[in-house]
Amino acid sequence: MRGRLFLYLALACFVALIAIFIGDGYIGIYDTTYVTAGEREQTIEADYWLQQYPAPSGFTIDYYISAQWGQRVFFRYEIDNRRFSTYSTVVQSSLWQENEKLLDLFSETKTIEPFDKAVAEWTLSTEELEPPVAGASNQYTVKINWGEVERNIVVDFYYPVEVPYR
Amino acid sequence: MRTYILYGFGILLCISGISYLAAEYVKYLSQPGKLACLMLIVGMLGFLGKYFDEIGW
């Protein structure tokens, strides 16, 4: 009888463990960003931001990508609603440089059904930007906002080098 | 003997299930959640050990 008690306690621990995995680890709202620059797609999963928050005071976490000036950078942003209720939010994306907003890239209200996903897509084109000036910064920040969440992706543009073809 | 094989099979399933779920979801767990999981795993293995001790293993 006493032996069985330990078995039941072990089973209770197992059930509680699974409940934590589901309740704390799975339920929630998660975002994934796909950035394609050139021929390379990079995936920024929610855990990249979650592992680094809370960031030290006055310090923001950014993700860096590089792209060639003149090429378009494609963004695909996915919000995964793993909750039992419908979630509605305004997804906004804008381009910033030196704390100054340059462009609005995307803005749309997304209503996501329970355990469903919403996708937002936009493109960053250098044609909409001022031509590069020698010595000036070639880094731009793409800010993605929804709810209280803000994601910063720094795009570092490099300039094509003339290759002496034969 | 058959009972022990079944116990062993059950324990293997438990461990592989926990490992799978951990690999899938542990990255999203909060710090208190991770601590609770650690304590529950210690408790579960401890109780299992005690159970086998009680039945004469």
Name every residue whose Cβ is closer than 8 Å to that of residue B35 and which is 6 or more positions away in sequence: none
State mean pLDDT over A152-161: 86
CA distance B32 to B20: 20
Q: Please list the alpha-helical segments (H only) found in chain A.
A: 2-20, 46-52
Strand order in the sheet with A28-37: A40-44, A28-37, A73-82, A116-124
* Predicted pLDDT of residue B18: 78
Question: Could B28 and A24 be called an inter-chain contact, meaning their C-beta atoms sit closer than 8 Å?
Answer: yes
Torsion of CA A83, A89, A56, B37, to 10 degrees: 0
Which residue in chain B has the smallest CA separation from A11?
Answer: B44
List, for residues A29-80, the tens digit of each pLDDT value: 999 999 999 888 999 998 888 766 555 555 667 899 999 888 899 999 999 9
List, for residues B12-27, the tens digit of each pLDDT value: 887 888 777 777 777 7
User: Is the model's pLDDT at A133 over the cut of 80?
Assistant: no
CB contacts of A24 in chain B (<8 Å) are 28-30, 33
Note whether ipTM > 0.90 here: no
Q: For residue A10, tell me if it sits in a domain.
A: no
Question: Could B28 and A3 be called an inter-chain contact, meaning their C-beta atoms sit closer than 8 Å?
Answer: no
| Structural domain containing residue A120 | 28-158
- State how many domains chain A has: 1
State the smallest CA–CA distance between residue B15 and chain A in angstroms.
10
pLDDT beneath 50: ranges in chain B: none
Which residue in chain B has the smallest CA separation from A21?
Answer: B25
* Predicted pLDDT of residue A62: 86
List, for residues A141-152, the tens digit of each pLDDT value: 999 999 888 999
* Predicted pLDDT of residue A55: 58
